[in-house]
């Protein structure tokens, strides 16, 4: 006897209000329904139903067993849905939110490859540098480069680490001098990202592990890292940037690292998405793709 099948039939008998109604709903004979319930009772060694010629009622143990049948059958069906959902081909529209500089400089490196892997999928990418509520603004996923995430109901998967580097052009340093220690930066033009937690202050960790807080000032401040880094490339001053933004400039020597023996706190790359009972195929595909892509370090200098 298939015990799970018998449990399904028993549940349908209870919920349909009788053997005949259950047989009709399941498209099987009354005899099969009756036999399955009887064999189930024999297997359990307990009477589940009180039968009369016109109606039935659950016994006390039958009521308990019925509740457990609901739990077990629902869990089995839920497990089947999870597998089916996992293997479903991603499709529809995937709405992605990302910081402007990340979306502009980094996403073009891998988005075409992702789209080629899932040709049935459409993407809608929105880049900005303001706070975005993924749920209220109906985004499927968000990408964030940050030191820390605020508490929320979103799922956050850490993908990679981007070091922070203090950079300037060789021409700027030749003209204005190269800082030898953090306090020397107070004599320089600092280009600030205005949405940083500390816009005009930097915390350095020295070779000895000690922290140094330095207050800075300058004539350029912007709410996008694109403008700040463009100003640095133009030789206008010194800025602190995530290495994913400037690693190619550093490799080419167009920018050089200032105070390389001192460290700034790194930033983490996260992919965020709302908590759902079942992760949709399109979101799962995107998260898995990024996890695989960023498993290899990308921004070394």
Instruction: Classify residue 262: in a domain, yes or no.
Output: no
Shared domain for 223 and 281, answered yes or no, is no
The whole-number pLDDT of residue 203 equals 93
- Asked if 149 and 181 sit in the same domain, the reply is no
Looking at the fold, whether 29 and 54 belong to one and the same domain comes out as yes
Tell me whether residue 298 is in a domain.
Answer: no
CATH of the domain at 135: 3.40.190.10
Residue closest to 271 by CA, chosen among 141, 135, 97, 112: 141
Residue 234 belongs to a domain: yes
Determine contact, residues 167/246, Cβ cutoff 8 Å. yes
Phi, psi of 82, rounded to the nearest 5 degrees: -60, -45
Distance CA 55, CA 283 (A): 50
Same domain, 132 and 180: no
299 within some domain = no
What are the angstrom distances between the C-alpha of 272 and each of 15, 106, 131, 134, 157?
41, 17, 13, 9, 6
pLDDT along the chain (301 residues), means of 10: 91 89 90 93 93 80 93 88 71 94 95 95 93 90 89 88 95 97 96 78 92 94 91 97 94 96 93 82 94 91 65
* Coil, helix or strand at residue 47: coil
The DSSP output letter for 59 is -
Which range of residues forms the domain containing residue 30? 3-87
Domains in the chain, number: 3
- Residue 52 makes CB contacts below 8 A (sequence gap 6+) with none
CATH of the domain at 36: 1.10.10.10
- pLDDT computed for residue 195 by the predictor: 77
| pLDDT confidence of residue 16 | 86
Whole-number pLDDT of residue 278:
67
Would residue 301 count as lying in a domain? Answer: no
pLDDT value of position 48 = 93
Q: How are beta strands 220-222 and 190-193 bridged, if at all? A: parallel
User: Which tokens go with 162?
Assistant: 């981007």
**Would you say residue 300 lies in a domain?**
no
Q: Which residues are bridge partners to 168 per DSSP?
A: 256
Tracing tokens 């998405």 back to the chain, one arrives at 273
Domain end marker among 39, 68, 87: 87
Q: How far is CA 35 from CA 55, 69, 200, 287, 298, in A?
A: 17, 18, 80, 49, 65
Residues 170 and 249 in one domain: yes
Place of tokens 């892997």: 117
On whether residue 30 sits in a domain, the answer given is yes
Considering the domain architecture, whether residues 131 and 82 belong to the same structural domain is answered as no
Residues 202 and 218 in one domain: yes
Regarding whether 140 and 281 lie in a shared domain, the answer is yes
* Residue 84, both tokens: 């089916």
Domain termination residue (choose one: 53, 87, 121): 87
7 in a structural domain: yes
Place of tokens 């195929």: 281
């Amino acid at each position: 006897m298939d015990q799970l099948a018998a449990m399904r039939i028993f549940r349908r008998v209870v919920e349909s209000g009788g053997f005949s109604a259950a047989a009709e709903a399941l498209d099987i004979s009354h005899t099969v329904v009756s036999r399955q319930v009887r064999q189930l009772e024999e297997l359990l060694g307990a009477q589940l139903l009180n039968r009369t010629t016109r109606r039935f009622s659950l016994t006390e143990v039958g009521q308990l067993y019925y509740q457990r049948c609901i739990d077990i059958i629902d869990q089995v069906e839920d497990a089947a849905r999870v597998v089916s959902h996992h293997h479903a081909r991603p499709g529809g529209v995937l709405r992605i939110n990302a910081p402007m500089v990340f979306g502009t400089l980094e996403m073009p490196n891998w988005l075409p490859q992702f789209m080629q892997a899932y040709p049935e999928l459409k993407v809608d990418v929105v880049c900005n540098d303001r706070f975005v509520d993924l749920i209220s603004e109906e985004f499927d996923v968000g990408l964030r480069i940050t030191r820390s995430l605020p508490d929320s109901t979103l799922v956050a998967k850490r993908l990679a680490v981007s070091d922070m580097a203090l950079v300037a052009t060789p021409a700027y340093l030749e003209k204005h001098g190269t800082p030898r220690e953090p306090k020397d930066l107070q004599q320089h033009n600092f280009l600030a990202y205005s949405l940083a937690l500390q816009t005009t202050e930097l915390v350095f960790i020295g070779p000895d592990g000690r922290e140094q807080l330095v207050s800075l000032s300058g004539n350029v401040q912007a709410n996008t890292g694109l403008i700040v880094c463009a100003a640095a490339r133009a030789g206008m001053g010194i800025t602190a940037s995530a290495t994913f933004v400037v690693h190619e400039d550093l490799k080419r020597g167009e920018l050089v690292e200032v105070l390389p023996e001192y460290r700034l706190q790194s930033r983490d790359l996260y992919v965020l998405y709302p908590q759902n009972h079942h992760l949709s195929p399109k979101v799962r595909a995107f998260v898995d793709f990024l996890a695989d892509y960023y498993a290899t370090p990308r921004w070394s200098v």
